[in-house]
Amino acid sequence: MSSTEPVPYAAEPTPYAVPDTSGPYAAPPPLTFVVGTGRCGSTALSEVLRLHPDILSMSELFTTLEPDALPEQPLDGEEFWRLLASTRPFADRMARDGAPLPEHLYAHAPGRFNPVDGVPAVCLTTLPHLTDDPDALYDALRPVLTARPSGPVAGHYRALFAELSARCGGYAVVERSGFSLALVPRLRRHFPEARFVHLHRGGPDCALSMSRHAGFQMIEFLGELVAREGPEAAARLGRLLDDDTFDLKGALARPVPVERYGALWSRMITEGLAHLDALPADLRTSVAFEDLLDAPARELARLAAHFGVAPEPDWIAAAERLLDGRRRGASAYLPPDEGAALRAACAPGTRALADRAASPGGG
């Protein structure tokens, strides 16, 4: 398999079975969540994980399904499928405007769904990350999942993972979503067996990348609407997204001081670390994107142990070719005053990460 082409899924699933785990990589955890702020190198990590033969790399599943990804009430199979098949107005609008988000792979190699009628959420990134025929995989999943009886949503997700493992390969499930730190308490409540990895990146570089990404520009735009109009702003935003005469790209491109994104990054980091601190220490670890670029063999071997898979040499070699060590330091080229303001806005999050790294068992 190349680093850019997903493997075709099996038309008929093979029996789902965890391989022999009597060796040094015994008892792989059933599920690991990679969480972070977004724009922290997480998409690159998903591409790396997809190359491992024993990992089912689930990209952007839970964040794409928000705000209803983890309902507390029981669902039957039909209700769970409606959640997976629901559309995302912002994603569809960006695609209609000819500027789909880069992580929305379906829009870059479209199938039978279109942004006018709406692309199912699970098709935006999750399925095309696994196969070059997401429409067929979507069709294959539907009868299996809709036939499930009523029960907690976690059981439906586990059935989804098992079906994808049988069709696409990989027995250790690793789900990675951007902008997911706030999900940690809910993920822990629904999946108490899961492990967590906190992927983080230096604040100024991460915040600068946020400022150039339409998803984070939308977060700032919505924040302005709420500050100006109150809670009803969310409903107004929905109407704006449906109105193709509204200049969405122009609204997102309005000047916003980059330090506002630095403040957003700091808030997410400080709140997210508090969520992670509430987890059992043996279920969590962290990795800096810069360390992943500087020492990929060391960091990937450490992550593989956490996931419960072997650090396959061919996998690490392929990952080293895929990771781009030049993806750093962009904030250093900002004008001095702008760079200083950004670093100041990021300071609370930077201190929180440093304190975590210095604490016993931290990092």
Q: What is the pLDDT of residues 197-213, one digit of tens each?
A: 999 999 999 999 999 99
pLDDT band at 30 (very low <50, low <70, confident <90, very high): confident
- Percentage of residues in the chain having pLDDT higher than 70: 91
How far apart are the C-alpha atoms of 5 and 126, rounded to whole Å?
Answer: 14
What is the model's pLDDT at position 3? 39
What is the model's pLDDT at position 232? 83
**Cα radius of gyration (the chain):** 20
List Cα–Cα distances, 46 to 1, 151, 165, in angstroms.
Answer: 15, 29, 16
pLDDT of residue 119 exceeding 80, the answer is yes
What is the model's pLDDT at position 325? 75
DSSP 73: S
pLDDT of residue 15 exceeding 80, the answer is no
Side chain identity at 295, as an amino acid letter?
A
Find the angle CA(310)-CA(287)-CA(172) to the nearest 5 degrees: 35
Cβ-based neighbour number of residue 151 at 10 Å: 14
Write the pLDDT tens digit of every residue in 81-115: 999 999 999 999 999 999 999 999 999 888 999 99
pLDDT of residue 47 exceeding 60, the answer is yes
Longest dimension (CA), the chain: 61
Name the token pair of 109.
Answer: 């190699």
pLDDT of residue 260 exceeding 60, the answer is yes
Write the pLDDT tens digit of every residue in 67-81: 999 999 999 999 999
Residue 31's Cα: distance from chain center in Å? 14
- Enclosing H/E stretch for 78: helix 77-85
DSSP 4: S
How far apart are the C-alpha atoms of 77 and 73, rounded to whole Å?
Answer: 13
Side chain identity at 336, as an amino acid letter?
P
Q: Are 101 and 59 in contact (CB under 8 A)?
A: no
Which residue(s) pair with 55 in the sheet? 172
pLDDT band at 362 (very low <50, low <70, confident <90, very high): low
How far apart are the C-alpha atoms of 30 and 54, rounded to whole Å?
Answer: 12
Name the token pair of 88.
Answer: 């995302």
pLDDT band at 277 (very low <50, low <70, confident <90, very high): very high
Question: Helices 153-168 and 77-85 sit at what angle, rounded to 10 degrees?
Answer: 70
Question: Taking the alpha carbons of 151, 152, 155, 161 in that order, is the dihedral positive or negative?
Answer: positive
